[in-house]
Amino acid sequence: MTVLGVIADDFTGATDVASMLVRAGMRTVQVIGVPDGPPVQADAVVVALKSRTTPAHQAVAESLAALRWLQAAGARQFYFKYCSTFDSTPAGNIGPVAEALLEALGADFTIACPAFPENGRTVFRGHLFVGDELLSDSGMRHHPLTPMNDANLLRVLQAQSRGRVGLVRHDTVKQGVPAVQARFACLRAEGVRLAVADAIDNDDLRTLAVACADLPLITAGSGLALGLPAVYEARGWIRPDAQAAALQAVGGAAAVLAGSCSAATRAQVQHWIASGRPALRLDARELAQGRPLAAEALAWARAHLPEAPVLIYATARPEEVQAIQAEFGAERAGALVEACLAAIAQGLIASGVRRLVVAGGETSGAVVQALGVRQLRIGAAIDPGVPWTQVEHRPLLLALKSGNFGSTDFFSKALEQVS
Ligand code: ADP
């Protein structure tokens, strides 16, 4: 019986939260989009949507469809997973989706907690930090699709919500579960529907997870999920499985595709190039001008693949991205690059690639859709938030990396782990 049903607003975010659950022994399956078929059997089922930057009404409709499917699978609790940098626009989609899910579940209150301390994302007094910087001072202010210019999550969330937004402060979290639950009751009585919750370490997240045990819906980054398996085990709902992260070995060639322009991915691309490995840059302007870059990149890749893994990247510096966006529009430029990388992914698989690393949330979504992947088993983590995954019924391993995750040598580290 499925215990936890997760609705993730992008594909890398889905593997991120699934990884967190698997690591604590929950057998977890990720499905891509809302399946037509019958419910999947696992302790946790994660529905990966690509709803972070779609119009709010569309994100709401897809999230509600995912909820209904997870309800049919028997899930006892639901989790709306978004990015640990709270990626959204003034129109949404975190607020509108959270409120629609609450309503559909007949619930009146939930928390919002993007904290993921293992990856440097902490929330204090409602403000989101990325490492030592406020979110608004971090590289996220340059994000191509969801630039984040305000670190005050109460303000960010209130701007996109109909109901009132409140705060569970860190000093309350530190006092433990009863204090947090008392604060929930207080906020509820004041008419607050969404409460931003402070968390600066894993102990805070565990406290929040226990305090939320009876809420029908949790909204959070992946961090809070680390506290849930213990709650379910204590209730006798799951028995942790030591083999939850085991995947089958596959042979074949290996490649990396990068469509993220985030700081961590830029450093990873540079590291790969500096270590003398084959790399090919896709020029977004040439692409927009109609040059057949996918075909050219595939011809280049086929020449190199027999000897070594290749990297193909559109990754560019913020000023380059801004120039392209000014010329062609942010949405069109992003879509063109995504479509090109997705076509390259198809060609690589046809050429025998069986281990593929993809950098970028939206990019991963485009690649996974183009490959027709429906279901992923979640394996061991390469770095916090990024596991290897196995495509169901196909000898294909995918590592879908959120742009800002992973160490500088992530690409080679990932490939070595499954060589
Ligand atoms: P992240 O996980 O870092 O947010 P995403 O893949 O979600 O990465 O988003 C990056 C977006 O930037 C994608 O839509 C991608 O197509 C787009 N993009 C990538 N390279 C360029 C470029 N050189 N110019 C303009 N847009 C780009």
Q: What is the pLDDT of residue 40?
A: 87
User: What is the arithmetic mean of pLDDT over 122-145?
Assistant: 95
Whose C-alpha lies nearest to ligand 1, atom 13? 334
Whose C-alpha lies nearest to ligand 1, atom 19? 259
Q: How far is the centre of ligand 1, averaged over its atoms, from the C-alpha of 360 (Å)? A: 7
Each residue's pLDDT tens digit, 223-264: 999 999 999 999 999 999 988 888 888 989 999 999 999 999
Whose C-alpha lies nearest to ligand 1, atom 6? 360
**Cβ 316 under 6 angstroms from ligand 1:** yes
Q: What is the pLDDT of residue 37?
A: 85
276 — pLDDT class (breaks 50, 70, 90): very high
Each residue's pLDDT tens digit, 13-33: 999 999 999 999 999 999 999
Burial class (CB in 10 A: 0-12, 13-18, 19+), 152: middle
Whose C-alpha lies nearest to ligand 1, atom 24? 321
- In degrees and rounded to multiples of 5, residue 380 shows phi and psi of -75, 155
| Crossing angle for the helix pair 94-104 and 56-72, to the nearest 10 degrees | 40
Q: Of 248, 246, 281, which Cα lies nearest the Cα of 354?
A: 248
Q: How far apart are the first and last CA of the chain?
A: 34
Q: What is the pLDDT of residue 33?
A: 94
Whole-Å CA distances, 387 to 51, 144, 226, 245, 414? 21, 25, 15, 9, 9
CATH topology of domain 253-417: Molybdenum Cofactor Biosythetic Enzyme; Chain A (3.40.980)
Q: How far is the centre of ligand 1, averaged over its atoms, from the C-alpha of 339 (Å)? A: 11
**Cβ 334 under 6 angstroms from ligand 1:** yes
User: What is the arithmetic mean of pLDDT over 280-300?
Assistant: 97
Mutate to test the pocket of ligand 1, among 50, 53, 261 (most ligand atoms within 8 A of CB): 261
**Cβ 361 under 6 angstroms from ligand 1:** yes
Q: Give yes or no for residue 419 having a pLDDT over 90.
A: no
Rounded CA-CA distance 99/158 in Å is 12
Asked if residue 93 has a cis previous peptide bond (ω within 30° of 0), the answer is yes
User: What is the arithmetic mean of pLDDT over 165-178?
Assistant: 98
Ligand 1 atom nearest the C-alpha of 87 is 4
Each residue's pLDDT tens digit, 257-273: 999 999 999 999 999 99
**Cβ 284 under 6 angstroms from ligand 1:** yes
Tokens 């942790």, located at residue: 240
Each residue's pLDDT tens digit, 32-54: 999 998 888 899 999 999 899 99
CATH topology of domain 4-234: Rossmann fold (3.40.50)
Q: Give yes or no for residue 11 having a pLDDT over 90.
A: no
Domain ranges of the chain: 4-234, 253-417
pTM above 0.85, yes or no: yes
306 — pLDDT class (breaks 50, 70, 90): confident
Ligand 1 atom nearest the C-alpha of 261 is 3
pLDDT more than 70, % of the chain: 100
**Cβ 324 under 6 angstroms from ligand 1:** yes
Q: Give yes or no for residue 385 having a pLDDT over 90.
A: no
The answer to whether domain 4-234 and domain 253-417 are alike in fold is no
**Cβ 321 under 6 angstroms from ligand 1:** yes
Q: Give yes or no for residue 12 having a pLDDT over 90.
A: no
Q: Token digits for 229?
A: 């398996």
